[in-house]
Structure 1
């Protein structure tokens, strides 16, 4: 049976995996290691150890622990009736291949992707005003939601996001990205907490960009950074930005709108079956249930917000300031908070 170039959509949780990419050196669980093993055992690719299959490409490489409901992968593999079920039989329950489609020989899932849609779900108390105590019973008012929405609009457009990625270089064109839209969804209740979801659409993103975008807005809302720090972080000087937890971040969709009009494409628009959509929705239900339960039981976002005052949020990376944040310094002066001495800045490699 001959192999052919195809693309497939996957839905998977990220909590059990240290990264999406395969890394044979560590031996630790990764999404791609699970996928390649299942592809090999099912006979979709040749060999006992698949490694990276020919022409392998993915729409997005997400951060460690981040989930995806709409990841798109292209590669050469064998295809037959029932191949999806056969591969899924060899995958853990938190990774599913949803659908497979034929694509032209020049298709590349990463290079031809027009846009990526992400969501970030978190408790609304993260956006409580500085004058209010962070509380599990906090409820986001409509006026406050609009204020948070306006803060996120600072990111829309073409900017250099060197302050929003580990070791980002302000002189590197690779840090320049286009954010198309950001929305803040209406809040809802789950597990006794109120949640909201931030929807972010962009052409592409640098490592940790969305998590730091969310983290910076939370820092401004909670007074750990001055309001001007957010637009300043999009300027030339590299500023310290906090990385929000990976728990709530989900790759929702990789979009290929321009593919249908490409003169070399004889397969038409890239669309997925109704069954694939149903599989993704089942995975979404499980994933959101995990996010809600983890926030309620472990307080992931609560811990993040609590530690913001002990970070140098909004300050230059090369700053020699003796204290972590403007609010932390003010609280120290009044004797209301203890702020640890400054340690050398370390970028998180996620």
Structure 2
């Protein structure tokens, strides 16, 4: 595939609306929006001088002044009065509220998504936007008369995050009252500690933080033991072994993984836990059966030994380089229909452009080794990042050729499990195109997070990284996820072949029967 500019779509899991723009071009100069969106934006922007409500607004006399400026002011005042909050008798609730000027701004925010039902306002659920909106109102950044609807303030977010997903940096744009010099401090005083407003920047009235975002950077944190092979004797391990006998030399040898499991099983034997008991424990967990008293005691010992061995594991340089090589296969323009749900190979919106993947050196958190993966992409679809991470982890774990990732860009449909949401966070939206014009043509400050880097880094470690590490230590999310995959024995409805046969020497071609689109 060639790394060429493609259609730019909104990021994350928003409903897809296409705009056409080169990757690094001035986004605001080439965007096209649907009529529906334009009407919505205009109707919500009561201070937009380019409102299309009256054709006369676009007529000019020779000196450049607009016709009917007095009539326009009267019309805007009447419109504002009509949108004020009224009681059951039609009387304004906040009739004496002083009218204060609003300015279009881009607000740079960060948050820990734990305990929230995602970013987007969705009453009665507890959301990040709900907390922000309330803080804006209490601080006076949004008037009481505009406090019943986000749309009145032209509110938009750059990226929508799902339940439990964090963001070190995100951007929301809105019209805000910024007369107070300490408005940022006031807003933060009404926000919980796990949500922060880093600052704001003035923009023009036409600015839309989502449409003008040229790309986004996400970070994914995961323990290195996630790349260890399936335990011998599990369903997936047996499928790999069976396929390798039929197609010899297809899968990679994994002495590092073999040594890990030999060491773990020897420790289990020393503790009096037999291979047969371990098999019974896995099977009971797979089908949801309660363990007998003797098995429960064996399970406690097995889990304790497993946790100790996982914590002591240190990924080799060779294995880490294999992870980097696998992730770099995603870079460029590809058809990611297998990395989301509800899209076919022929759907043009399935084609996305990934700019880079960067994998950190391993680091230790309370004795367990982790890595950080940063992906920079033009836009992403629902579950795409988690499925990309999941695919790489499974390809490394099973020893199948790295080319299996490239094959997943093809027409054959496969069911890629999505990696746990726990490790995912939005690093920041990027405004390359917008900033190119802002700094080059107008000599103004670029829109971004550089000046908040110190505060953001401290926030990430206190409210995001620690939450991820502590939850993994308490709930064992990653080990539970891969144990489930290893024990899963489902088959395709049409072909009757194992769901994860594409991870064996059989490859994707052996699984070329279509399967139902749906969340795993």
Number of the residue aligned with 1:126? 226
Deviation sequence 1:236-261 (CA, Å, 0-9, x none) = 23321111111111111211122233
Change in CA separation of 1:243 and 1:11 when aligned onto 2, cut-off 3 Å: same
Distance 1:215 1:170, change over 3 A: same
Structure 1 Cα separation of the partners of residues 442 and 174 of structure 2: 16
- Please list the CA deviations of residues 87-111 of structure 1 after superposition, one character each: whole Å capped at 9, or x if unmatched: 1111111111111100122211111
TM-aligned CA deviation for residue 129 of structure 1? 4.2
TM-score, normalization by structure 1: 0.86
1:206 aligns with 2:381: yes
Structure 1: distance between partners of 2:355 and 2:503: 34
Q: Quick check: 1:141 aligned with 2:316? A: yes
Q: Spell out the pairing of 1:1-350 with structure 2 (5 A cutoff).
A: 1-24=100-123, 27-47=124-144, 48-79=147-178, 80-129=180-229, 131=254, 132=257, 133=261, 135-223=310-398, 227-262=402-437, 267-272=444-449, 274=451, 276-286=452-462, 287-311=464-488, 319-326=494-501, 347-348=518-519
Choose between structure 1 and 2: higher strand proportion.
1
- Measured against aligned partners, the alpha-carbon deviations of 1:252-288 in whole angstroms (never above 9, x if no partner) come to 12111222332775744224474x3333122111111
Partners of 2:430 and 2:104 in 1: how far apart? 19
Show the counterpart of 2:249. none
Does the C-alpha gap of structure 1 residues 38 and 225 become closer, same or farther in structure 2, counting only changes over 3 Å? Answer: farther
How far 1:119 moved relative to its partner?
0.8
Alpha-carbon distance between aligned partners in 2 of 1:318 and 1:153, rounded to the nearest angstrom = 33
3-state SS of 2:210 partner: coil
How many angstroms apart in 2 are the aligned matches of 1:166 and 1:311? 20
In 2, the alpha carbon distance for the partners of 1:259 and 1:126 equals: 39
Q: 1:56 to 1:157 in 2, by over 3 A?
A: same
Structure 2 SS opposite 1:174: helix
The Cα shift of 1:166 comes to: 2.0
Q: Given the superposition, is the C-alpha separation of residues 347 and 137 from structure 1 closer, same or farther in structure 2, using an over 3 Å criterion? A: farther
- 1:232 positional shift: 2.0
Shift of 1:345: 5.8
Cα pair distance change 1:320/1:33, threshold 3 Å: farther
Give the count of matched residue pairs: 331
- Return the structure number with greater helix share: 2
Residue 320 of structure 1: how far off its partner (Å) = 3.0
**What whole-Å deviation, never above 9, does each CA across 1:36-87 have from its counterpart, x for those lacking one?**
1211222211234343453222221123211001101111111121111111
- Cα distance, 1:272–1:318 mapped onto 2, change above 3 Å: same
Partner Cα distance (1:106, 1:312) in 2 = 53
> In 1, Cα distance between the equivalents of 2:504 and 2:110?
44
In the TM superposition, what whole-angstrom CA distance separates every residue of 1:151-192 from its partner, at most 9, and x where no partner exists?
A: 111111001211111212322222211000102110011022
Q: CA RMSD in A?
A: 2.7
Seen in structure 2, the aligned counterparts of structure 1 residues 64 and 232 have a Cα distance that, compared at 3 Å, is: farther
1:45 is paired with a residue whose SS is coil
Shift of the alpha carbon at 1:214? 0.4
Is the 8 Å Cα contact of residues 169 and 449 (structure 2) preserved in structure 1? no
- Say if 1:139 and 1:194, in contact at 8 Å, map to a contact too: yes
Q: Match of 2:56?
A: none
**1:212 Cα deviation from its structure 2 partner:** 0.7
Paired residues of 2:398 and 2:503 also in contact (CA < 8 A): no
- Aligned 8 A contact 2:342 2:517 in 1: no
d(CA) in 1 for partners of 2:417, 2:399 = 10
Residues 272 and 204 of structure 1: is their aligned pair in 2 closer, same or farther, counting only changes over 3 Å? same
Match of 2:84? none
Give me the TM-score of the superposition, normalised by structure 2: 0.59
Return the alpha-carbon distance in structure 2 between the equivalents of residues 81 and 35 of structure 1: 19
CA distance in 2, matches of 1:239, 1:297: 32
Q: Is there any run of 5+ residues in structure 1 with no aligned partner, and where? A: 331-343
Query: Which blocks of at least 5 consecutive residues in structure 2 are unaligned?
Result: 1-99, 231-253, 262-305, 506-514
